[in-house]
Chain A
Amino acid sequence: MASLELKNVVKRYKSQTVLDNLSLTVADGETLVLFGPSGAGKTVLLRLVAGVIDPDEGRIFIGGEDMTDVDAEFRGVGMAFQNFALFPHMSAFDNIATPLEAKRSSPSAIKAGVESVAKLLKIAHVLSHKPRALSNGQKQRTALARALVGSPPLLLLDDPLRNVDAKLRFEMRLELPRLLADRGATVVYVTQDYKEAMALGDRIAVMSQGVIRQLGTPEQIYREPASIEIARLFGDPTINLLDVKPARDARGVYVGLSNVQVHLDEAPETAIGRDCVIGLRPEALHFAEDNEPGAIPVTVEAETPLNEKIVTLVRTVRGREILVSRPAGAPGRSEGKAHIAVDGKSALLFDQASGERIGAKNVVKLRNGEAA
């Protein structure tokens, strides 16, 4: 068993508090992603768990055991670093072998262990090379192999894909789940890339300024972000945010978007009459027929394809910019006047002052409104 628990952990550097009374539980076998901008305290948290730095306050439990005062070498965790941290004077083989040597495994056991993990990571052919003779991708795989080789019950991965190019990063992102699942280890994975976070995490902890702002499944974070700040961190293109003031008429709650009343289903009562921000994901908007009810007239500014999507920047009659994204091949306009409509389901309402999402009900349903 290797669950991980942090209780009221505080870490300060000089006068700056980098982790502020942080508590967190990671279940056995779970992959938890720590996501957030640089300086959020993600790496510090990982190092505290690894035992290479000490917390100022709080306790750290690994597998139910209090490890706060235990030295790093006795915690039995595996860690991969953002900058790889390979030992430059040792071959890839010797690099990977170091955790096994620490366990005083026999030479034959070391050889077998290193070779099997190297095969899994497709670096068996470069084991005799020194780090400087390895490509970036091979370095990264070597670092990962070193973290995995001792089959540690707790794996700490500090943004391991950051320093490899886009193609390798993509490849590794698809390869990692199987590698991790095979090991059955508990994983704490640090990243600044929301796609990695969503792809790899059973749960994601969104951090900023030393505090966990939201903890949930990728689905919860994406569909029910706790605040505007979090909603903006997930999704490419970024979520559209427009100031609105929800009101009520005979047909229910509506918001005015460019002189069009868009009615919302299940809109929280508390939002009515308040200064709000509505969050509309670009993929939740589509190009509509001109006479479709609730369609908003816009002018197309530019079309910018993005991977298998087409992202269109449009401007409403009030001059507000909106990004609309659609799968390549779906109907759309590339210039001139057009109409867009909201797909429903995923519209989010935030309080304008605090930035927090309004309403206990997480998902606001939209009903097609009629043009005003």
Chain B
Amino acid sequence: MSPTALTISGVDKFYGPIDRGVHAVKNLTMEIGKGEIVALLGSSGCGKTSTLRMVAGFEEVSRGAIAVAGRQVHTLPPVRRNVAMAFEGYSLYPPLTVRENMAFALKAARLPRSEVDARVASIAKLLEIEDILERYPSSISGGQQQRASLGRALIREADLHLLDEPMGQLEPQLRAVLRGRIKHFIKERGLTAILVTHDQTEANALADRIAVMEGGVLQQFDTPDRIKERPANLFTGTFVGEPPMNVFEAFVGTAHDRINLRLPDGLSLDYDRNAFSGPVRDQLLSRERVVIGIRPYAVRRSKDGVPATVLANQWLGDQTHIAADFAGGSLVLVEHDRTRLDLGAPIKVSIDPKNLHVFDQASGKAISHGMELA
């Protein structure tokens, strides 16, 4: 077990009076190890930014405690917490050049000039801002400002690096390579980074673990793979993953030795009873209605599947996205080859039970993932 870099214990955030104001973060507890990259993921207003700002010290903690590297910090001012932060609005100092912005904290720490120059040069190369180092923030593009702001945060040595929406404005052509470089940079130096983002692709690309938040509540805190394969509830399942998970309501029924999940439009997915493990079967059969989820890449076209009609067939260069009219809704399939299907063409789709996610209809909590109980 690596030493902990950040411990958040039972933290609440209220805007306004405690217990009466807006409850932005609800009883949040999480622990982040040294050297980890963690993404706080959620839509706007989910509490992720409030959490980050509480860790940085820009927002008071209404209840609970925050410790950085084993040191209680939630009553300390931001400067004494030893955290570095890149802001969503960049917050570059307008009267300073990009170089001066990046060197600011290092100069304040009285590092020798040669060392400062060397570090600025290496980060600038990493972020491809070498040619704008002498420019002022107002004269560079949004994407460049974002890179400069990232550089200013990454250049520092700190117990924690907090990155608020660090890549939203990056030029699409640079995004993939910068993601790779930044991840390599963080890992190589053993930094601990927390990034806040609403973009699940960014979280998946960079993070070792993702904390999915909604309504101020931590929904799931796990590795990207586990969140994809074992989403804790319907929210996590549909929020993470692109294209989003296909979701249908189904009635559970049995006939002979088979379990069938009846969908709208008279369609039904039939499975051998033994396709499910005993406990999963029991859980399924104890319910009348469930919500089933299937990841788009887990839907297969096959000869003996359930009928569907092609609504769209879109080739994106390296993937084909297919939408099909299915069970009163639309079912999305992803194939890695170039598929050519005409609009309106009939296809048959099959869903392997091991790719089936089942959720409770009322609570949205996961019941089972494939063969296993959630």
Interface segment, one of B60-68, B250-258, B275-283, B316-324? B316-324
- Cα of A306 to Cα of B297 in the assembled complex, Å: 13
- Cα of A207 to Cα of B317 in the assembled complex, Å: 19
Q: How many residues of B contact A (CB 8 A)?
A: 40
Q: Which of B151-191 contact A (CB under 8 A)?
A: 172-177, 179-181, 183-184, 187
Please classify how large the interface on chain A is, using the bins under 10, 10 to 19, 20 to 34, 35 or more.
35 or more
CB-contact partner of B318 in A177, A235, A313, under 8 A: A235
- Cα of A198 to Cα of B312 in the assembled complex, Å: 12
Cβ contacts under 8 Å, B241 to chain A? 307
Instruction: Answer whether A302 and B180 are a contact pair too, CB < 8 Å, given A170-B242, A238-B172, A307-B201.
Output: yes
Instruction: Answer whether A304 and B180 are a contact pair too, CB < 8 Å, given A166-B242, A174-B332.
Output: yes
Cβ contacts under 8 Å, A166 to chain B? 199, 242
- CB-based contact B315/A218 at 8 Å: yes
Mark A280-305 against chain B: 1 for CB-CB distance below 8 A, else 0.
01110000000000000000011111
- CB-based contact A328/B181 at 8 Å: no
- CB-based contact B176/A323 at 8 Å: yes
Answer yes or no: B42 CB below 8 A from chain A CBs. Answer: no
CB-contact partner of A304 in B199, B206, B319, B343, under 8 A: B206
Cβ contacts under 8 Å, A222 to chain B? 317
Answer yes or no: A173 CB below 8 A from chain B CBs. Answer: yes
Answer yes or no: A181 CB below 8 A from chain B CBs. Answer: yes
Instruction: Answer whether A305 and B314 are a contact pair too, CB < 8 Å, given A237-B176, A311-B180.
Output: no
Cβ contacts under 8 Å, A165 to chain B? 43
- Cα of A292 to Cα of B54 in the assembled complex, Å: 53
- Cα of A212 to Cα of B183 in the assembled complex, Å: 37
Cβ contacts under 8 Å, A173 to chain B? 312, 314
Answer yes or no: A318 CB below 8 A from chain B CBs. Answer: no
Answer yes or no: B25 CB below 8 A from chain A CBs. Answer: no
Cβ contacts under 8 Å, B224 to chain A? 305
Instruction: Answer whether A195 and B332 are a contact pair too, CB < 8 Å, given A178-B311, A237-B176.
Output: no
Answer yes or no: B29 CB below 8 A from chain A CBs. Answer: no
Instruction: Answer whether A177 and B312 are a contact pair too, CB < 8 Å, given A232-B173, A236-B172, A308-B334.
Output: yes
Cβ contacts under 8 Å, A238 to chain B? 172-174, 176-177
Answer yes or no: A350 CB below 8 A from chain B CBs. Answer: no
- CB-based contact A234/B321 at 8 Å: no
Q: In angstroms, how far is the closest chain A Cβ from the Cβ of B35?
A: 14
Cβ contacts under 8 Å, A199 to chain B? 312, 314-316, 321
- Cα of A185 to Cα of B137 in the assembled complex, Å: 46
Q: In angstroms, how far is the closest chain B Cβ from the Cβ of A169?
A: 10
Q: In angstroms, how far is the closest chain A Cβ from the Cβ of B18?
A: 32
Chain B residue at smallest Cβ distance from A222: B317
- CB-based contact A234/B317 at 8 Å: yes
Answer yes or no: B336 CB below 8 A from chain A CBs. Answer: yes
CB-contact partner of B316 in A195, A282, A302, A312, under 8 A: A195
- CB-based contact B176/A302 at 8 Å: no
Answer yes or no: A107 CB below 8 A from chain B CBs. Answer: no
- Cα of A262 to Cα of B204 in the assembled complex, Å: 34
- CB-based contact B317/A302 at 8 Å: no
Q: In angstroms, how far is the closest chain B Cβ from the Cβ of A47?
A: 25
* Centre residue among A176, A178, A303 by max chain B CB count within 10 A: A178
- CB-based contact B242/A281 at 8 Å: no
- CB-based contact B204/A305 at 8 Å: yes
- CB-based contact A328/B312 at 8 Å: no
Cβ contacts under 8 Å, A195 to chain B? 314, 316
Answer yes or no: A368 CB below 8 A from chain B CBs. Answer: no
- Cα of A304 to Cα of B167 in the assembled complex, Å: 14
- CB-based contact A174/B318 at 8 Å: no
Q: In angstroms, how far is the closest chain A Cβ from the Cβ of B267?
A: 20
- Cα of A219 to Cα of B317 in the assembled complex, Å: 8
Chain B residue at smallest Cβ distance from A335: B187
- CB-based contact B176/A236 at 8 Å: yes
Cβ contacts under 8 Å, A178 to chain B? 311-312, 343
- CB-based contact A306/B204 at 8 Å: yes
- Cα of A251 to Cα of B316 in the assembled complex, Å: 35
Mark B288-332 against chain A: 1 for CB-CB distance below 8 A, else 0.
000000001100000000000001101111110101000000101
Chain B residue at smallest Cβ distance from A174: B323
* Centre residue among B184, B296, B330 by max chain A CB count within 10 A: B184
CB-contact partner of A323 in B180, B311, B315, B317, under 8 A: B180
> Would you list the 5 A-B pairs with minimal beta carbon distance, nearest first?
A313-B180, A237-B176, A199-B314, A304-B205, A174-B323
Q: Which residues of B contact A (CB under 8 A)?
A: 43, 172-177, 179-181, 183-184, 187, 199, 201, 204-206, 224, 241-244, 296-297, 311-312, 314-319, 321, 323, 330, 332, 334, 336, 343
Q: Which residues of A contact B (CB under 8 A)?
A: 165-167, 170, 173-178, 181, 195, 198-200, 218-219, 222, 232-238, 281-283, 301-309, 311-313, 321, 323, 325, 327-328
Kindly list 20 other residue pairs between chains A and B, CB separation below 8 angstroms, not including A174-B321, A238-B172, A311-B176. Answer: A174-B332, A198-B314, A200-B314, A218-B317, A222-B317, A232-B173, A238-B173, A281-B317, A281-B318, A301-B180, A301-B184, A302-B183, A305-B205, A307-B201, A308-B319, A312-B180, A313-B180, A323-B177, A327-B336, A328-B297
